Amino acid sequence: MTSIIFTKGGYLYSVSILRTISCLGVLAVHLGQRMHLNGIIRTITDYGETGVYLFFIVSGYLFVNSVEKNDKRMSKVLCNRLIHMISVFYLLFYLITA
């Protein structure tokens, strides 16, 4: 029997794949709304809303898993994540407004 959890060096690839699929679902919803799709295609893209909930659940799991795996304090991990998000925000803001 094979495991459905693919790991390499402690990294959970199957969970990351699930998060990627949920991101694609969210992207499908936004594209369906932006492009004003109708009919069966719009119905299919609306199912991507489930990806939002799935993304938050999987991201939360990966966050807690990384804290436990690296044996770090929660405040240090949150601070690192915040610095990462802010730097990406300013980079994108600069690229969009430049």
User: 5 in the Ramachandran plot: left (φ > 0), alpha (ψ -120 to 50) or beta?
Assistant: beta
- Residue 55 pLDDT class (50, 70, 90 cuts): confident
Joined together, the tokens standing for residue 72 give 């770090």
User: 10 in the Ramachandran plot: left (φ > 0), alpha (ψ -120 to 50) or beta?
Assistant: left
Tell me the mean pLDDT in the region 60-87: 82
pLDDT of residue 88: 92
Kindly tell me if the per-residue pLDDT of 1 is higher than 50: no
Kindly tell me if the per-residue pLDDT of 35 is higher than 70: yes
> Cα-atom radius of gyration of the chain, to the nearest Å?
17
Kindly tell me if the per-residue pLDDT of 50 is higher than 90: no
Query: How far, in whole angstroms, is CA 37 from its chain's centroid?
Result: 25
Kindly tell me if the per-residue pLDDT of 49 is higher than 70: yes
Residues 6+ apart with CB under 8 A from 95: none
